Amino acid sequence: MDCIFCKIVEGSIPSKKVFENDHVLAFHDISPAAPVHILIIPKKHIATMNDVEPDDFGLIGEVHRAAQQIAREQGVAESGYRLINNCNRNGGQVVYHIHYHLLAGEQLGPLNAK
């Protein structure tokens, strides 16, 4: 499958990993939008939020569990962070393997700044 994040999961494309278990992988975004910008993905290929099926909700919970741990380990849990999923064109999704952006390390702008 021609999916860049599946290739990162397989290891055929390198990444700077910050977290990995059997189901979830997290790595630094190649083009950071904040001092801390980490992408958290399920290893399973799910294209978008719209494609999450009932059996996947436990897996999405695992992604959230990883986000919580990563925020602690990055030292930003208390100062705060933003966890973002972009879905489809208007959401700004570019990579069609579901992922959450964990952004932190500075005061982030208001959501209505777009």
Give contact residues for ligand AMP (rule: CB under 6 A).
4, 13, 15, 29-31, 39, 86, 92-95
101 is catalytic: no
CB of 87 to ligand AMP, least distance (A): 9
SS3 37: strand
User: Whole-angstrom Cα distance, residue 20 to residue 85?
Assistant: 19
43 binds, among Zn ion, ligand AMP, none (CB under 5 to 8 A by kind): none
The residue (of 97 and 101) whose beta carbon lies closer to Zn ion is 97
User: Which DSSP symbol is given to 35?
Assistant: S
Could you tell me the smallest distance in angstroms from the CB atom of residue 51 to Zn ion?
A: 11
**Token duo for residue 68:** 């919580």
Our CB check for ligand AMP shows the closer of 65 and 96 to be: 96
Interacting positions 84-103 with Zn ion (CB under 5 A): 97
Nearest to 63 by CA among 21, 111, 33, 15: 21
DSSP letters spanning 74-89: TT-TTT-EEEE---HH
Q: Which residues bind Zn ion (CB under 5 A)?
A: 3, 5-6, 45, 97
